[in-house]
Amino acid sequence: MFTIDAHLDLSMNALEWNRDLTLPLSEINERERGLSDKPDRARATVSLPELRKGNIGLVVATQIARYVAPDNALPGWHSPEQAWAQTQGQLAWYKVMEDCGEMIQINDLPGLEKHLALWKEDSPEIKRPVGYILSLEGADSIVSVDYLQHAYDNGLRAVGPAHYGPGRYAQGTDATGKLRTGGYELLAEMERLNIILDATHLCDESFWDALDHFNGHIWASHNNCRKLVNHNRQFSDEQIKELIKRGAVIGAALDAWMMVPNWQRGISTPKEMNCNLEVMINHIDHICQLAGNALHVGIGSDLDGAFGTEQCPYDLESIADLDKIPGLFQKRGYTEKDVENLMHGNWIRFLCKAWA
């Protein structure tokens, strides 16, 4: 089934992990064998050939670069200007992938419709480009709000104001507090440009503050349920209900620590924690029960988000294994239409409304 994945860090993997994502997954992992500088070396699950193999023809692909103040122990850049430059390097990689015919940027409704039509064609001999919608995970690299217009002109269509820790515009995972002064200006400019607000990673106070000050389109590209894993990275039922009320779609993430409680990084294993794709369905089903329908759920796997098979469902070796999800969802009593909405329909409907 045609699938949309609403969160992949492709450019980060290409430039910071030094992965040639045009290669088969086996070659990427073989080249990394013996390396230990990243926790997921030789355990990658994402490449462009694997996306095609899984019929994952459209993704939301990120730019990401954190600014860190002198008292911030998180990894990141020491100035917003450096962070901006990092995101421009990431943009350059996406552009090169376009030049090679590997990817194509989707940034408006005609482009979306054309791309979907291409992937519906029954032409196995054609190497289809993977479509990508450009998103910014954490807004620290926006040097000033004026830069947002430049980013939009380069195709940026979604922004998550915060990532981990305190941010320049908002507070993220494990931080506390409302938006910073510039955050309100950022939201106003996003609304003017019709940029989607990605609520993922906003801490509770910043989440509610952002929704109080933003009247545009909102989604949560990769977020699970606090009811099932009690951590501030997940959404509470109250937050999920508000997102549903605002017409959002919430993408289920496949990072094991977000899927099962009591995960210990570097110690726990997916098998011993019974972390499989059924657990992902638990989170999706919980959102559906709160909504009373299956119109607000999707996939935002985050499968290349600095983890690999050591920290994802044990029944997934490649992102192409997302094709196991329809059967698991149907086993819960969901209809074929519900499955289609989960795999692609809800994201498409959201985009058609946002970009109309």
Q: What is the CA radius of gyration of the chain?
A: 19
The structure tokens 């983890």 sit at 307
Question: Cβ distance 169 to 162 under 8 Å?
Answer: yes
pLDDT digits (tens, 9 = 90+) for 181-233: 999 999 999 999 999 999 999 999 999 999 999 999 999 999 999 999 999 99
Host domain of residue 282: 3-354
CA distance linking residue 139 with residue 253, whole number of Å:
21
Whether 103 contacts 60, CB under 8 Å: no
- Does the pLDDT of residue 123 top 90, yes or no? no
pLDDT in tens, 253-282: 999 999 999 999 999 999 999 999 999 999
Cα–Cα separations (whole angstroms), residue 337 to 122, 293, 330:
21, 11, 10
- Amino acid identity of 7? H
pLDDT of residue 273: 98
Asked if the model's pLDDT at residue 124 lies above 80, the reply is no
Percent of the chain with pLDDT strictly greater than 90? 98
As a whole-number percent, the residues of the chain with pLDDT over 70 amount to 99
Summary mean pLDDT of the chain:
97
Q: Is the separation of the CB atoms in 201 and 163 below 8 Å?
A: yes
* pLDDT tens, residue by residue, 319-333: 999 999 999 999 999
Domain count, the chain: 1
CATH of the domain at 64: 3.20.20.140
pLDDT in tens, 3-53: 999 999 999 999 999 999 999 999 999 999 999 999 999 999 999 999 999
Burial category of 124 from C-beta neighbours within 10 Å (exposed 0-12, middle 13-18, buried 19 and up): exposed
Tell me how far apart the alpha carbons of residues 221 and 6 are, in angstroms, rounded to a whole number. Answer: 5
- Kindly indicate the confidence band of residue 251, based on its pLDDT and cuts at 50, 70 and 90: very high
